[in-house]
C-alpha cells in the first residue's frame, strides 16, 4: 500500500512448517479511499500456531487520538479471504507496529525536551497517548510493549539528531509551532493464550504453555537521517511447542549430480497430503530468497519415472543442470497450499568436466603461439 511495505524472511529450515500464508491491506485515508494511512497485514501458520503481523500508519497530529484508535479497530476487523482463517485478534501471536503517531499529551515542549535531555523518559510515559489508551480501551489492554528507554523518535531535522527547529507553514501561511517530540514509532505484541489465562485463576503449567514471546531488545537508530522519524527495531525470542513435527514432503537428490547426465530426485509424502498435477520440485541455490528464484524445476507428475507405496522418483534433464556446479537445495512446491512444503538438505552439484577440459584446452592453445606471431602481437 502507498508508503507501507511489509516483508517477512524465514530460515530455510522453517519453510516446510509455514503454511496458510495470506495477506491483506486496509486503507483508512480519505474515508477509506486513499492508501496514505491504514495497515498491511500478513498471517500464517507456523508449526501449527497462527501468527499475524500488522504494519500500520495511523493519522497524525496531537488531537487525533480517537481517530487513530478508530482506524486501528477498523484494521483489526478486516477478514482474510479463505476458509477457516481466524480473525486478527484470534491469532495465537499478533505483532502490531509502525508509525502509530501517538503523541505526548499535556506537557509543554520545554518540559518534554528537558526530560529527554536528562534521559528521564519515565516522566513522559504516563502522558504518552498510547499508554493512556491502553488503560482505557479494552481491545488494547492485551497488547504488550517493551519499556521506552530510547529518545522519542519524532520529529527531527533531516540528517541530524536535533529535534524540530524550523517553523512550519500551513496552507494559510500562519506559522505553526515546532512539533513536540513523541514516540510515534512503536512495536507491540499480543499472545492469545496469555490473554485468555489473564482472566482465569491459577498458573500455566509447562505442559500447557505452548508459546513464549521474549523481547530481547527494543531500540531506536539515531544514525539514520533521511526522515524526520528515527527507525525503531525490536528483536524477539519466540519459543513454540510444535503442533507439526513432520514436513508434508521429504525429498532428497539421488546419486552424484552434474550436468553430464540426467539426475534423479526421490520424495515421499505423508498420507494426508493432497498433491496436484501442478506441483513441482525446484532446484535452488542455497541462498535463494523467493520461491521464484529456482534455477530449474520438474513437474512431479509429468517428470515422474517410478512410484511405489513409499516414495516416488522424478528426473531432471542434464541440459537444465548448471555446468558450473555448486551448492544447491531441492524444494517441493504445493499448488494447493501455495507454499513450499518440503526442502532437502544442501548438496553439491559437480562441475561439468567436459566443459572444464574444453576450457583448459582453449587456454593452452592461446599460449602456443609461434615466436613470430608473439613478436608481431607485441609490436602491434
The pLDDT tens digits of the residues spanning 291-339 come to 999 999 999 999 999 999 899 999 999 999 999 999 999 999 999 998 9
Looking at the structure of the chain, the number of domains it has is: 2
Same domain, 264 and 215: no
Residues 333 and 305 in one domain: yes
362 within domain boundaries:
no
Q: So what's the pLDDT on residue 143?
A: 97
Task: Report the CATH number at residue 308.
Answer: 2.60.40.2840
In a domain, 336, yes or no: yes
Instruction: Tell me, yes or no, whether 183 and 155 share the same domain.
Output: yes
Identify whether 155 is preceded by a cis peptide bond (ω within 30 of 0). Answer: yes
Residue 203 lies in a domain: no
Same structural domain for residues 236 and 324? Answer: no
Indicate whether 67 and 215 sit together in one domain.
yes
Residue 136: predicted pLDDT? 95
Do 65 and 91 sit in the same domain of this protein? yes
User: Could you tell me the pLDDT band of residue 357, with boundaries at 50, 70 and 90?
Assistant: low
Assigned domain for 344 exists:
yes
For residue 28, name the pLDDT band (cuts at 50, 70, 90): confident
Q: Give the model's confidence band at 372: pLDDT under 50 very low, under 70 low, under 90 confident, else very high.
A: low
Do 279 and 349 fall within a single domain?
Answer: yes
Asked whether residue 375 is assigned to any structural domain, the reply reads no
Judge if 285 and 181 occupy the same domain: no
This prediction has a pTM of 0.84
Query: 7 in a domain, yes or no?
Result: no
User: What's the CATH number where 24 sits?
Assistant: 3.60.10.10
Question: Are 189 and 89 in a shared domain?
Answer: yes
Rounded-to-integer distance, Cα 287 and Cα 179, Å: 45
pLDDT in tens, 273-292: 999 999 999 999 999 999 99
- Is 2 among the domain residues? no
Cα separation, 238 vs 191, whole angstroms: 11
230 in the same domain as 257: no
Residues 18 and 77 in one domain: yes
Average pLDDT, the chain: 88
Q: Give the range of the structural domain holding residue 108, as residue numbers without chain letter.
A: 12-167+176-194+209-240
Within this chain, do residues 48 and 145 fall inside the same structural domain, yes or no?
yes
Q: What mean pLDDT comes out for the span 342-366? A: 77
Is residue 345 one of the residues assigned to a domain? yes
CA distance 184 to 216: 21
Amino acid at each position: 500500500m502507498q508508503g507501507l511495505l511489509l516483508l517477512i524472511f524465514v530460515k530455510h529450515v522453517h519453510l516446510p512448517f509455514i503454511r496458510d500464508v495470506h495477506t491483506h491491506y486496509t486503507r483508512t485515508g480519505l474515508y477509506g479511499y486513499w492508501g496514505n494511512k491504514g495497515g498491511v497485514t500478513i498471517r500464517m501458520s507456523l508449526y501449527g500456531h497462527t501468527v499475524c503481523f500488522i504494519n500500520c500508519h495511523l493519522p497524525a497530529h496531537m488531537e487525533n487520538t480517537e481517530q487513530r484508535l478508530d482506524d486501528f479497530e477498523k484494521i483489526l476487523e478486516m477478514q482474510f479471504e479463505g476458509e477457516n482463517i481466524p480473525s486478527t485478534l484470534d491469532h495465537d501471536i499478533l505483532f502490531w507496529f509502525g508509525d502509530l503517531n501517538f503523541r505526548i499529551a499535556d506537557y509543554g515542549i520545554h518540559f518534554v525536551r528537558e526530560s529527554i535531555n536528562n534521559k528521564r523518559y519515565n516522566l513522559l510515559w504516563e502522558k504518552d497517548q498510547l499508554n493512556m489508551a491502553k488503560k482505557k480501551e479494552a481491545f488494547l489492554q492485551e497488547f504488550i510493549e517493551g519499556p521506552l528507554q530510547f529518545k522519542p523518535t519524532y520529529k527531527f531535522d533531516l540528517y541530524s539528531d536535533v529535534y524540530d527547529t524550523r517553523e512550519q507553514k500551513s496552507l494559510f501561511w500562519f506559522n505553526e509551532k515546532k512539533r513536540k517530540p513523541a514516540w510515534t514509532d512503536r512495536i507491540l505484541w499480543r499472545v492469545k493464550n496469555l490473554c485468555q489465562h489473564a482472566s482465569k485463576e491459577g498458573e500455566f503449567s509447562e505442559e500447557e504453555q505452548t508459546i513464549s514471546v521474549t523481547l530481547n531488545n527494543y531500540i531506536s537508530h539515531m544514525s539514520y537521517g533521511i526522515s524526520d522519524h528515527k527507525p525503531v527495531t525490536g528483536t524477539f525470542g519466540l519459543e513454540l511447542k510444535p503442533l507439526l513435527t513432520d514436513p508434508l514432503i521429504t525429498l532428497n537428490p539421488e546419486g552424484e549430480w552434474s550436468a553430464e547426465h540426467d539426475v534423479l530426485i526421490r520424495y515421499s509424502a505423508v498420507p494426508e497430503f493432497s498433491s496436484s498435477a501442478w506441483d513441482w520440485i525446484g532446484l535452488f541455490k542455497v541462498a535463494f530468497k523467493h520461491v521464484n528464484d529456482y534455477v530449474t524445476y520438474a513437474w512431479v507428475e509429468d517428470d515422474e519415472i517410478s512410484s511405489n507405496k513409499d516414495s516416488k522418483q522424478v528426473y531432471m534433464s542434464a541440459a537444465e543442470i548448471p555446468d558450473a556446479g555448486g551448492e544447491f537445495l531441492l524444494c517441493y512446491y504445493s499448488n494447493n497450499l501455495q507454499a513450499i512444503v518440503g526442502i532437502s538438505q544442501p548438496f553439491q552439484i559437480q562441475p561439468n568436466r567436459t566443459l572444464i577440459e574444453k576450457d583448459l584446452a582453449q587456454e593452452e592453445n592461446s599460449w602456443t603461439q609461434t615466436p613470430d606471431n608473439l613478436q608481431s602481437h607485441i609490436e602491434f
